[in-house]
Amino acid sequence: MKNILVQVEALKKYFPVKRGLLYKIAGWIKAVDQVNLEMEKGKTLGLVGESGCGKTTLARTMLRLIEPDSGEIYFREQPITRISPQALRNLRQDMQIVFQDPFNSLDPRFTVSRTISEGLQVFQSLSKSKLADQVRELLAVVGLPDDAINRYPHEFSGGQRQRIGIARAISLKPSFLVLDEPVSSLDVSVQAQIINLLYELQERFALTYLFITHDLNIIRQVSDEVAVMYLGKIVEQAVNADLFNRPQHPYTKILLEATPIAHPKERKPRAILKGEVTSAMHLPSGCRFRTRCPSAMDICSRQEPALKEIAPNHRAACHLL
């Protein structure tokens, strides 16, 4: 039986688009639309999709950094969608995020010590010496030297800054960590170092990761389960091996075929995904992928496919199935 740490049911988040002199609402961007998701404790769920499909909005809504319009969020089986501000404040210790950009996610006016210790000061009553000891311990955990404690973000490389961001995120010993494209802005060699660090931290602290990226090679490497997102909807979700070896949704298949392959003998002709991502404000009727799908049928324009289980631990939303 699965030990579910985080679960969302019918989660929805729309953003108004205002135009004109009076800023009247002209439409809605459907960033997250009726999403259902489960995350098993101690595992990594990879969330993949093209830019603008709603991955980051979904993650931040799950953390209550963005308030959902409707739906339910459960953490350890307890609903957290409408809890009191004080209860939400206490919950922050258990749910943290590592941001995509290590250059903009750190305040340039703060030393490393102040950056990492800010959460500790809010939630724990520690003397200055004990606070400094904890910061040094966290620096050692993420592979940074002691002398980094009084330096500023501009004195570090991108990979080192991301280590500082990770140290800040784990300072309160959370159970759930959102990794919002944590290696996308780093060199390939540094990416490998950060991914190895995340592996070590997960084993050491029993962390549950939501790993967001558009790089399927990284998703294949780090995730236990994969969810594919397109225009605010989860279109396929499966355990890692099933999704990469037996993809079912046309969008997933095209994404996998478009992934670069290093070995020349294993390369195959690439499938080309026609057209651009449809605006989340002007969605097509029926299936949202039908305007770009090579297998679209008449029913695809009339009826939106439901996300259904097509095999054990494998769900997909497509009329072909």
How many angstroms separate the CA atoms of 177 and 173, rounded? 10
213 in any annotated domain: no
Q: Which of 321, 312, 309 is nearest to 36 (CA)?
A: 309
75 in any annotated domain: no
pLDDT < 50: residue spans in the chain: none
- pLDDT given for residue 125 in this prediction: 81
Cβ-proximal residues to 78 (8 Å cutoff; 6+ apart), any chain: none
Q: Which of 148, 119, 143 is nearest to 131 (CA)?
A: 119
293 in any annotated domain: yes
308 in any annotated domain: yes
- pLDDT given for residue 272 in this prediction: 61
Q: With contact defined as beta carbons under 8 Å apart, do 251 and 235 qualify?
A: yes
- pLDDT given for residue 249 in this prediction: 95
- pLDDT given for residue 58 in this prediction: 96
Which strands form 70-75's sheet, in the order they lie side by side? 24-40, 4-19, 70-75, 78-79
Cβ-proximal residues to 278 (8 Å cutoff; 6+ apart), any chain: 231, 284, 288, 291, 292
46 in any annotated domain: no
Give the tokens for residue 79.
């609903």
Give the tokens for residue 131.
């606070």
302 in any annotated domain: yes
- pLDDT given for residue 20 in this prediction: 84
At position 52, the amino acid (one-letter code) is G
Which strands form 233-239's sheet, in the order they lie side by side? 95-98, 176-180, 208-213, 44-48, 225-230, 233-239, 314-316, 308-311
Give the tokens for residue 36.
């259902």
- pLDDT given for residue 197 in this prediction: 96
33 in any annotated domain: no
Q: With contact defined as beta carbons under 8 Å apart, do 179 and 147 qualify?
A: no
CB-count exposure of residue 85 (10 Å: 0-12, 13-18, 19+):
exposed
> How many separate domains does the chain show?
1
127 in any annotated domain: no
Q: With contact defined as beta carbons under 8 Å apart, do 237 and 227 qualify?
A: yes
Task: Give residue-wise pLDDT tens across range 213-267.
Answer: 988 989 999 999 999 999 999 999 999 999 999 999 999 998 888 776 665 655 5
Q: Which of 261, 321, 265 is nearest to 293 (CA)?
A: 321
Q: Is 175 helix (H, G, I), strand (E, B) or coil?
A: coil
Q: What angle do CA 238, 77, 236 make, to 5 degrees?
A: 15
- pLDDT given for residue 296 in this prediction: 87
Q: Range of 287's domain?
A: 248-321
